[in-house]
Amino acid sequence: MSSTSKTPTEEPKKKKKKPSNSPIQVQHGDTSQQISEAVREAMSTLYSPPQYYTQPPHGQYTPQPVHTTDITSMLQSLTVSVQNIEQKLSTLDNIEKTVSYIQDKVIQLELKISELDSLKQKVESIEQSTEFISEKFDEWCVDKQTINDDVKSLQDQVTRDSITLTHLQQDSIRLNEYMIDQRCQSMRDNLIFTAIPEANPEGGPEDTEAVLKTFIKGELKLDPCIIDFKRIHRIGPRKSQHDKNIKPRSIIAKFNVTTQKDSVKRAGRELKGKPFRIVEQFPDEIAAYRREVLYPLQWEARKHNKKAIIVVDKLYVNNVLQNTPLPPYRLPRSQYISINRPRLFDT
């Protein structure tokens, strides 16, 4: 067997693998898969059989030097690579957090944008409503000015009408007062005789003048022949005399001569203690005022032994006119004549 032939135990020489002295580079933007492959490559290089070791030929042994420098540089390179990987991983974590935060913000922004779209629609609707309200407000301002002018005109008219109404009210009261005075003047010669029995209680005709003259002669002790009557009649409808509680109707006598009326009135003193009475006739308004206001004041004055006389609707105590409450049918004297306005009636 020649010396160049291979022995059975001889193994083919393995090709030396030159170790890489440069650190594992991880480019910016590598994925996690690329990082894993770089780690596996470094680990396989670390744990692979030493490159300086080769099996010698049979019967021969030549020791090879151990290159510790290569191992140290490889470990340093691996350390740097691992540190770079850790930095990249931490950077990726931060990027992931940032991306997640940005995604949340984008979602929130999308929600805000959708809300803004809704708000935009609402704002447009509000603008339309505002324009409508503005138009209506302008119309209302025009209408308000017109109404204010109308109200002012009405107020002026009401003021004028109020003055006119006040004048009319005064004129009405004065006219009523004038009519009451005229009625009082027409009644100044009238006397009312009460409680004189009727001659024909059953409803037959009655000579009222004869009945009155008989009463004057018998009760007042006056000569009725010298008294001149203008009119004599009873007041009100005839009443049945069967009921004893029904009083006879009063008699009204109108005298032609005022002095004769005064004489008959003074003779009424003869009726003291009797059911008969002789009173002057007045309009209902004056009669009510005398009854409700003047008579109580007259009686109060007479209790103090004062001379109290009632003349129509005025009270005199010891010949002094008293300041009694104003009758409701009369105006205060200060209102009788308005400024720049002539009187309608002169009394």
Check whether 25 has a pLDDT greater than 80. Answer: no
The pLDDT of 78-90, averaged and rounded, is 82
Q: For residue 18, what pLDDT is reported?
A: 45
Helix count (H) and strand count (E) of the chain?
Answer: 6, 7
For 237-246, write each residue's pLDDT tens digit: 876 656 666 7
- CATH code of the domain occupying 189-281: 3.30.70.1820
Q: Is the dihedral of CA 314, 317, 319, 324 positive or negative?
A: negative
The pLDDT of 159-170, averaged and rounded, is 87
Q: Are strands 251-255 and 277-280 parallel, antiparallel or unpaired?
A: unpaired
Q: For residue 56, what pLDDT is reported?
A: 54
Phi, psi (rounded to 5 degrees) for 251: -110, 135
Residue 335 DSSP code: G
For 46-61, write each residue's pLDDT tens digit: 555 554 445 555 555 5
310 Cβ contact list (under 8 Å, min separation 6): 290, 294, 295, 298, 316
Q: For residue 20, what pLDDT is reported?
A: 45
Percent of the chain with pLDDT over 70: 73
260-263 contacts: CB < 8 A, separation 24 or more?
A: 260/226, 260/227, 260/228, 261/189, 261/190, 261/191, 263/222
The pLDDT of 339-347, averaged and rounded, is 44
Q: For residue 334, what pLDDT is reported?
A: 66
Helical ranges in the chain per DSSP H: 32-47, 68-186, 208-219, 258-266, 284-289, 295-303
| 3-state class (DSSP) for residue 205 | coil
Task: Identify any residues that bridge with 288 across adjacent strands, giving them in sequence order.
Answer: none
Which class for 331: exposed (0-12), middle (13-18), buried (19 or more C-beta within 10 A)? middle
- Stated pTM of the model: 0.50
More confident residue, 66 or 170: 170
